[in-house]
Amino acid sequence: MNNDLRDGGHVPPTEPTPTAEGSNPTGDHRLPTWAPRVPKHKIRRLYELDAQGIIDDDLIDDVGYGLWARGKAFITACAAVRGEVVCPACGAILHRAGHDKTQVMVCGCGWSLSWGDYFETIQRKQLSGAEPVLALFGSYVDRFPEATTPRARMLLIDELLHGFHWYYKTGTPTRPVAINLIEGRLSDVIDFLDTLTYGSGSTPGLRDRKAEWDERIVYARSWGRDAP
């Protein structure tokens, strides 16, 4: 699959030397784009088939790699806020200092853009989270391509979708990470996960995780069902 930034793909490890500000002969000011959240109907269908013991490899990969791309986008966006910005033209990493939105980032490939314009593509896109969420997404991104069976991939998908943001002061769950992964408002996403189908054919382990979700979501609901 395509591994560029648009699909949340791998960031090349090398970094070209940025040019001086204003030295941009190509006039390339393209904005970064981010892999979208996964549609609910695909996930619902995946769980309906799994509950019947039906393995749909194509659907598992469609949903799984959609989540993989979204997870990569999330990690890349968070890194940009911390100062490691991926050039959307060539994939190089540019180091940015401070929070001045007028600062112009210039890449050796000829791309340039202000940090303010770059950051605006991240805002209000459910692309921010603390270290525990980044660790969860990073683990999924590393493990999903290595899973060798449909059941193993299904377990990884389920583990990711039922993860939580955590409040560091109390160690209690806040909102589900699915809000960063599935399209919809927080209340819609919670209701959606509450009503996923399970049955006698469900992948072993899914029902156990659903029971854990039912316990933890009690805390999460107190953070506001009307949040975006």
- Give the tens place of pLDDT for each residue, 60-108: 999 999 999 999 999 999 999 999 999 999 999 999 988 899 999 999 9
Instruction: Work out the pLDDT band at 22, boundaries 50, 70, 90.
Output: very low
Instruction: Work out the pLDDT band at 1, boundaries 50, 70, 90.
Output: very low
Note the Cα 29 to chain centre separation in Å: 25
User: What's the pLDDT at 170?
Assistant: 56
Q: Phi, psi (5° rounding) for residue 214? A: -60, -35
- In this prediction the pTM is 0.83
Residue with tokens 């791998």: 10
Q: What is the DSSP string of 15-74?
A: -PPPPPTT--TT-B-PPP--PPPBPHHHHHHHHHHHHTT---HHHHHHHHHHHHHHHHHH
User: What's the pLDDT at 26?
Assistant: 54
For 150-167, the pLDDT digits (tens) are 999 999 999 999 998 865
Vertex 88 angle, CA 73 and 102, to 5°: 100
Task: Pick 36 or 3 by higher pLDDT.
Answer: 36
**Percent of the chain's residues with pLDDT above 70:** 81
CA–CA separation, 104 and 86 (whole Å): 14
Relative to beta strand 84-86, strand 93-95 is: antiparallel
CA–CA separation, 172 and 70 (whole Å): 25
Q: For residue 124, what are its two tokens?
A: 């209000």
pLDDT at residue 11 is higher than 50: no
Q: Which of 66, 40, 72 is nearest to 137 (CA)?
A: 72
